[in-house]
Amino acid sequence: MSNKTNKPQMTSSLLVAKMRDEKGITFKYITEENTEVYLTDINNYLRTAAYRRNYPKYTCGSNKGKYIELDFAYLQELSTIDMHFRFLINRMCLDIEQALKVKLIKDISNDINTNAYKIVEKFLSKNSYILKGLEARIMSPFTGDLIQKYFNVQKVYNPTKERDEHIIQGYDDCPVWVLCEVITFGEFLRLYDFYYGNNAIISRSILGLVRSLRNGAAHNNCLLANLSHGTSKPPREIKDYVKKMNSISTSQRQKKLSCRPMLEFVALIYTYELVVTSKVKFHRSKELYKLFFERMTEKKCFFSTNDLIKTNYEFARKIICESLCKHK
């Protein structure tokens, strides 16, 4: 059956009826009328309903297929918490990106065996796909001037598209500190790995987890929509990092690190501890504390019977307490 047939376009009133009658979702803390307004003017059904994956369903009886003890207000609150979480993740990832760039430029500048221009030439010759991204950003008001100044950019007519295009025909006159300003975070991580290799303070597997979380937050994805276990396998460094935390048991560590959002969050905290300056950690730690220990607990009664949400929250709190909160 196609999506057009199985999931037809519906008004907010029809969606509320579907949640109530087919999904077993209740409306004890918010009226159906206010839910309709919410789904029309504040958030859409797809994003709000995404968090229902954290709730079990009846497997038999007259309510088979319906959710167990799920009120729409719970989904609404999870969506709001996730929004605050994304905002903080974005700020922390920017801190990490800045710290990694500063360290890379410093290390290359002090490396008598590495030329700041030659490394760019070698890197781009082995990662030529990045040039396409740079060409697409030539007209950007933020990076375009740098690209046109430090790269050999030519305007070439494309007969297929019937228009002029900017093509980079040379890249031997760009230093690494300029390249860092005009490439994406993912492209920068390739450069970071290209220079450090196995000598990097943070492994490529961990940076890959940080990048995944950063992309999810930056693209406004629902980060907490699926907190189930058994979806991921943690790198050795992350297992050892959490193993040192006395408040976290072996079973809790093994279970929670198999949850992809939790694994990526721990990778973020691990990386943050290693590369970000103490002053920045101090300010960001206060934000983490305020989010996890104040805002997230405002409506904790909503989740008192949901072990999946409660145990993931408790695990994240322990990670924060054992790491960054010591800087608070």
Over residues 223-263, the pLDDT tens digits come to 999 999 988 999 999 999 999 999 999 999 999 999 999 99
pLDDT at residue 327, as a whole number: 55
CA distance 168 to 175: 16
Is it the case that residue 162 has pLDDT exceeding 60?
yes
pLDDT at residue 165, as a whole number: 82
Is it the case that residue 188 has pLDDT exceeding 90?
yes
pLDDT at residue 160, as a whole number: 75
Ordered by start, the domain boundaries in the chain are 13-78
- Mean pLDDT over residues 159-164, rounded? 74
What single DSSP character describes residue 155? Answer: E
Q: Could you report the per-residue pLDDT of 58-105, keeping only the tens digit for each?
A: 999 999 999 999 999 999 999 999 999 999 999 999 999 999 999 999
Q: What are phi and psi of 156, to 5 degrees?
A: -125, 135
User: What Cα–Cα distance (Å) separates residue 34 from each residue in 23, 41, 76, 108, 297?
Assistant: 19, 10, 12, 58, 23
Is it the case that residue 201 has pLDDT exceeding 60?
yes
Q: Could you report the per-residue pLDDT of 210-219, keeping only the tens digit for each?
A: 999 999 999 9
Structure tokens, 207: 């940076």
Is it the case that residue 325 has pLDDT exceeding 70?
no
> Residue 163: which pLDDT band, with cuts at 50, 70 and 90?
confident
CA distance 181 to 124: 15
Buried b (16+ CB within 10 A) or exposed e, 220-229: eebbbbebeb
CA distance 57 to 76: 19
Q: Which of 18, 70, 87, 26 is nearest to 46 (CA)?
A: 18
Q: Which of 147, 195, 186 is nearest to 168 (CA)?
A: 147
Please, are residues 182 and 147 in contact by the beta-carbon 8 Å criterion? yes
301 burial level (CB within 10 Å; 0-12, 13-18, 19+): exposed
Q: Could you report the per-residue pLDDT of 176-186, keeping only the tens digit for each?
A: 999 999 999 99
User: DSSP string of 274-285?
Assistant: HHS-HHHHHHHH
**175 against 325, higher pLDDT:** 175
Bridge partners of 49, per DSSP, are: none
Task: Kindly report the number of other CB atoms within 10 A of residue 319's CB atom.
Answer: 25
Buried b (16+ CB within 10 A) or exposed e, 67-96: beebbbbbbbbbbbbbeebbebbeebbebb
> Residue 1: which pLDDT band, with cuts at 50, 70 and 90?
low
Buried b (16+ CB within 10 A) or exposed e, 105-144: beebeeeeeeebbebbeebbeeeeebbeebbebbeeeebb
Query: Is-above-0.85 flag for pTM?
Result: yes
Q: Could you report the per-residue pLDDT of 15-71, keeping only the tens digit for each?
A: 999 999 999 999 999 999 999 999 999 999 999 999 999 999 999 999 999 999 999
Please, are residues 231 and 259 in contact by the beta-carbon 8 Å criterion? yes
Average pLDDT value for the chain:
94
